[in-house]
Amino acid sequence: MTDAASSIIRALGFTSSGGGSEVYSAFRIATIPSSYSGSGRPTLQFDGETSPTVRTYPYLSSYTPAAGDRVLVALVNHGGCILGKIM
């Protein structure tokens, strides 16, 4: 990574606070578990994790969640919002 790219990433707050080179993404990919009934906010199972979250996640009004959907999640503050299904 170039020095300019590293500077931009640090300025946007996507690196660890310890000054390391670890980069954080503002997005994650997850799957809506098969246990989702189709009503209310779904829980998610993020890629690389072995069990679904306890937390439920809001979603954009243009998307209707369904069990088994692979979704893109924008990380916001200490939670996130489902942006939609990955086709």
Q: Within its chain, how far is the Cα of 32 from the centroid?
A: 12
Q: Which two tokens stand for residue 73?
A: 């999640």
Is 70 part of a structural domain of the chain?
A: yes
Flag whether 30 is in a domain.
yes
Residue 34 is assigned to a structural domain of this protein: yes
- Asked whether residue 7 is assigned to any structural domain, the reply reads no
pLDDT at 4: 60
CA distance 54 to 57: 10
Strand partners of residue 80: 75
Q: How far is CA 71 from CA 3, 24, 36, 40, 50, in A?
A: 33, 18, 14, 16, 17
30-81 confidence digits (pLDDT tens): 999 999 999 999 999 999 999 999 999 999 999 999 999 999 999 988 889 9
Please give the residue range of the domain that contains residue 58.
25-85
The CATH number of whichever domain residue 81 belongs to comes to 2.40.50
Largest CA distance in the chain: 48
pTM: 0.73
Residue 8 included in any domain? no
